[in-house]
Amino acid sequence: MRVLIVSQYFWPENFRINDLARGLVERGHNVTVLTGIPNYPAGTFFPGYGFFRNLRQDYHGVKVKRVPLIPRGDARGINLALNYVSYAFFACIFSPFICRERYDLIFVCQLSPVTVGLPALFLKKLKKIPVVFWILDLWPESLSATGAVKSPNILRWVDKLVRFIYRGCNLILTSSKGFIPCVASKGVAAEQTRYFPNWNEPEYLVEERSAELPKGVVLPQGFRVMFAGNIGVAQDFDTILSAAEKLRDFTDIKWIVLGDGRQSEWVAEQIKSRGLINAVHLLGRHLPETMPAFFAQADAMLVTLRKEPIFELTVPGKIQSYMACGKPIVAAVDGEGGRIIIESGAGLAASSGDADALAQSVLDMYRLPREEREAMGMRGQQFCADNFDRDMLINRLEGWMGEVVAAR
pLDDT digits (tens, 9 = 90+) for 346-360: 999 999 999 999 999
What residues contact residue 221 under an 8 Å CB cut-off, 6+ apart?
254
| pLDDT of the residue at 211 | 61
DSSP-derived letter for residue 217 is -
What pLDDT digit, counting tens, does each position of 4-47 carry? Answer: 999 999 999 989 999 999 999 999 999 999 999 999 988 999 99
**Cis bond upstream, residue 113 (ω within 30):** yes
Phi, psi of 11 (to 5 degrees): -40, 135
pLDDT of residue 358: 98
311-to-18, 109, 143, 217 alpha-carbon distances in Å: 24, 19, 11, 33
Are the C-beta atoms of residues 240 and 227 closer than 8 Å to each other?
yes
Helices (H), 99-190: 117-127, 141-146, 152-167, 180-185
Q: Give yes or no on whether 2-199+389-406 and 202-387 have one common fold.
A: yes
Q: Give the pLDDT confidence of 52-103 residue by residue, as tens digits.
A: 899 999 999 999 999 999 999 887 778 989 999 999 999 999 999 999 999 9
Q: Report how far Cα 24 is from the mean position of its chain's Cα atoms.
A: 19
The CATH code for residues 202-387 is 3.40.50.2000
Residue 204 has what pLDDT? 65
Angle between helices 117-127 and 152-167 (to 10 degrees): 30
Distance CA 141, CA 267 (A): 25
State residue 210's pLDDT score: 54
All residue ranges of the chain with pLDDT < 70 are 202-211
Where do the domains of the chain lie?
A: 2-199+389-406, 202-387
Q: What is the CATH number of domain 2-199+389-406?
A: 3.40.50.2000
Residue 205 has a pLDDT of 61
What percent of the chain shows pLDDT beyond 70? Answer: 98
pTM of the predicted model, to two decimals? 0.86
